[in-house]
Amino acid sequence: MYTLLSGLYKYMFRRDEYCILILGLDNAGKTTFLEQTKTRFNRNYKGMSLSKITTTVGLNIGTIDVGKARLMFWDLGGQDELQSLWDKYYAESHGVIYVIDSTDEERLSESKRAFEKVVTSEALEGVPILVLANKQDVETCLSIPDIKTAFSDCINKIGKRDCLTQACSALTGQVCMEVFSYLPELSISVLRKG
Ligand code: G3D
């Protein structure tokens, strides 16, 4: 009887766990996005001040629960020398959030090259990608069409996977609402099953 009840309890409160990689060049706003996400989804989370976040060196991890899903975010360092470590995490991942700094036109082609490597990686074949055009709160930032044009060579390489580009300001959170409302959908319907 105990086994039956404990099995039922576990079934009812079981959470499917998904790993989501947050990738992008250094300074794109990956850690700020992760902190903003944790603050919004974890009621008791007292995060660090977003304006005090410095660029990721190594790895930041964050977990949020959305419905019956637990999303584990791995925010990986984006410096050139750290990008070579990204593929070590690909096999474990169910989704990718790729963050672009919309204010950094100079590094847009560098970001495109890094993105290209991500989408052409065999280990990530079919894995859904959410592209965030971040820092949209800055008046002089590149628009979504500008960024799509700059990344247009990559379209054929994306393949049949789900890929969505969203405007975002991780710092203010104000233009992130669609992104946050997309997260449950990302976790439940489009993620590759483990
Ligand atoms: P990273 O983890 O991708 O390396 P961070 O990037 O999250 O450390 O952010 C790098 C810098 O960009 C930080 O500023 C951070 O405040 C800023 N930033 C992140 N997201 C946004 C955004 O949406 N809008 C604006 N305006 N700035 C953002 P500092 O000054 O600490 O380097």
* pLDDT per residue as tens digits for the range 43-56: 776 666 666 666 65
pLDDT tier for residue 184 given thresholds of 50, 70 and 90: low
In a domain? residue 141: yes
- Domain count of the fold of the chain: 1
Residue 6 lies in a domain: no
Q: How far is the CA of 122 from the centre of ligand 1 (A)?
A: 30
pLDDT beyond 50 at 194? no
Q: What is the pLDDT of residues 63-96, one digit of tens each?
A: 888 777 788 999 987 677 777 788 888 988 988 9
Measure the CA–CA gap between 126 and 104, rounded to whole angstroms.
29
Tokens representing 86 are 């990204």
The two beta strands, 129-134 and 95-101, are parallel
- Please give the helix or strand (H or E) that residue 185 lies within, else none: helix 177-185
Residue nearest to atom 18 of ligand 1 (CA): 29
Query: Would you state the pLDDT for residue 191?
Result: 47
CA separation for the pair 155, 165 (Å, rounded): 12
pLDDT confidence tier of residue 25, bands split at 50, 70 and 90: very high
Which atom of ligand 1 approaches the CA of 75 most closely? 2
Domain assignment present for 108: yes
Please name the amino acid found at residue 34. Answer: L
Give the mean model confidence (pLDDT) for residues 104-123.
Answer: 94
The pLDDT, as a whole number, for residue 56 is: 59
Q: Rounded to whole angstroms, how far apart are CA atoms 194 and 93?
A: 8
Instruction: Look up 79 and say whether it is catalytic.
Output: yes
The answer to whether position 133 is within a domain reads: yes
| Cα 145 to ligand 1 centre (Å) | 22
Rounded Cα distance between 95 and 53, Å, is 24
Residue 148 belongs to domain with CATH number: 3.40.50.300
Q: Residues 79, 83, 136, 174: which is the catalytic one?
A: 79
Whether 165 maps to a domain, the answer reads: yes
Which residues line the pocket of ligand 1, CB cutoff 6 A? 24, 26-32, 51, 53-56, 78, 134-135, 137-138, 169-171
